[in-house]
Structure 1
Amino acid sequence: MITIENQIGKSRTIGHLKGGNGGPTMIFFGGIHGNEPSGEEAMQEVFLGIEENEIPVTGSIYGIRGNIAALLEGKRFVDRDLNRLWTDEKIEKIKAKAENELLNEDRELLSIHQVLLDILKTESGPFYFIDFHTTSSKTLPFITINDALINRKFSKLFPVPIILGIEEYLDGPLLSYINEQGYLAIGFESGQHTAKEAVDNSIAFMWLSLVYGGALKRADVDGFEGYYRQLQNSAKENASFFEIIHRHPIAPGDKFLMLPGFRSFDVVNKGKILAEHNDKAVLALQKSSIFMPLYQSQGEDGFFLIRKTPKFALWLSVLFRKIRMPALLPILLGVSWADKNKGTLLVNERTARFMAKPLFHLLGYRNRVINKGEILMTSREATAKNKMYSRTWWYRNKKSV
Structure 2
Amino acid sequence: MRPKLTQQQLANAACLSLGTVRKIERGERGVSDSALESIAHALGVDPSRLRSDRGTAHTAVHEALPMLSAVLAVHDMPEDGPTRPMRELRIAVDEAVKWRLAAQYTRIAHQLPELLAELARAYHQAPSHERTTVAQLMVSAYRSADAVAYKFGARDLSARLVDLMRGTVPEAEDPLLSAAVAYVRTETFFAAQAHAPGLRALELALDGAPAATEESQIAVRGALHMRAAVIAGRAKNVSAAQTHLHEARTLGDLVAEDVYYGTAFGPESVRIHEVSVAVSLGDDHVGKALAVAREWKPPTDLPAERRSGFYIELARAQLWTGEAEHAFESLKVARHIAPQHTREHPWVREDAAKLRRLKRADSETLTNFAEWCAAI
Band of TM-score, shorter chain:
under 0.3
If asked which structure has higher relative contact order (CA below 8 Å, sep 6+), I would say 1
Instruction: Kindly indicate which of the two structures has a greater share of residues assigned to strand.
Output: 1
TM-score by length of 1: 0.24
TM-score by length of 2: 0.25
